[in-house]
Amino acid sequence: MTQAGTQEALAQEALAQRVRRIVDATPVVDMHTHLYAPALKELLLCGADELMCFHYLISESFRVHRLPYDVFWGMSKREQAEVVWRALFEQSTPLSEAASGVIEIAQAFGMQPGRFTLHDLRAVLSDTPTAAYIDKVFQLAGVDLVVMTNDPFDRAERAYWAQGVEIDPKFRASLRLDTLVNQFADACQDLQAQGFDVAPDLSGRTFAELERWLESWVERTQPVYVAFSAADDLVYPDDGVRGQLLDKVLLPVCRRHKLPLSLMIGARRRVNPDLRLAGDSVTQASLRPVERLCADNPDNKFLITMLARENQHELVVTARKFHNLMPFGCWWFVNTDTLVEEITRLRLELLGPTFIPQHSDARVLEHLIYKWQRARDVVARVLTDKYGALVRRGWAVEDADIERDVRRLFRDNFWDFVQA
């Protein structure tokens, strides 16, 4: 290597260290998880057995152990955890994103390098989410606040909210309305049982009652956004049930309270029902309904994530055209090291630092640790490359620039968008 090449390599390494130091020091707001505040008790999952029974690992384990579905689901959670451990950590090498994440969690809790057992992991991780344990996980993950996914149609969760629970301020609510939007007949039965005058054909007082119901949940939970998921069947404008619910209930209530509507698009539900929660798959979807939502409702804000890799470029281009659209995260099947880096580079190249690069989608408390370690790795690597290119083109990059950009990506873009 020439002297000039050596100097450039040293400068790039010094830049990488600066970026990594700032990335590691910046606390994260995790804007989409499936975690729950401790006041919701058993709904907040943690510990080794819950990690093993994460649906990503359950699905992967069936490719190894080949047990009949009914046999597996008939086991206790502890027994299921042992089956998954044997399949993915004894009979296989934990190379997948989800399996290798368990290794990172163990390392964060101080387990010695080398092989360890499920028994060892159970001894280190707590299956009781005490305040001290939650604080420790948040500290290890570099996270200071998470947004929950709160379903008003989940009877177990609803019972806690009805008690007027006090929510730990490190946990903020979001209202997930998949049942209302995607299974309206079921939602109607539930709402009728609660005393709301609603009808499956949307007649009578249905819209007024739905608005009254949604307003009550906004008041009760103080959400930071409202959300639902869709496959490739999202249409807008739409004279059907979903379209009318959007135009006459969801969008007006969101406008009134300045709440973004978060759309998670591209999940095909129950492709393999025998896998239960692990049985969903992916589909490519059209962005045209999102374009029309943004264009026809300029006073509404939309948080959008797409499940198919094929949709990522079009989503970023759409975000360039509509400032009331915020792309967020790398959801589920695109939350792998390879695709997160590809998507993050794409977004930076077309949007600059004006998006939300990641959310954990954590279902088990300890997931926060490896999900955000991976996200930090990618963000640091991509930013180092981009800053290095700027420096080579003659633009000085100061630590204050890096700190501002990282803070926007990890915190401010979300808060500025939801609070605008």
pLDDT at 405: 98
Mark out the alpha helices in 53-202 (DSSP H runs).
55-65, 69-73, 77-85, 97-108, 118-124, 131-141, 155-162, 178-182, 184-193
Please check the confidence at residue 5 and state whether its pLDDT lies above 70. Answer: no
Please check the confidence at residue 4 and state whether its pLDDT lies above 70. Answer: no
Please check the confidence at residue 382 and state whether its pLDDT lies above 90. Answer: yes
Mean pLDDT of 305-331: 98
Report d(CA 407, CA 271) in Å as an integer.
39
Nearest to 185 by CA among 170, 174, 198: 198
Confidence label for 374 from pLDDT (cuts 50, 70 and 90) = very high
Helix axes 206-221, 184-193, angle to 10 degrees: 80
Q: Phi and psi for 59 in degrees, rounded to 5?
A: -60, -45
Place of tokens 């978060």: 262
CB atoms under 10 Å from CB of 311, counted, come to 24
**pTM score, whole prediction:** 0.97
Please check the confidence at residue 1 and state whether its pLDDT lies above 80. Answer: no
CB atoms under 10 Å from CB of 102, counted, come to 26
Confidence label for 3 from pLDDT (cuts 50, 70 and 90) = low
Average per-residue pLDDT for the chain = 96
Confidence label for 243 from pLDDT (cuts 50, 70 and 90) = very high
Please check the confidence at residue 270 and state whether its pLDDT lies above 70. Answer: yes
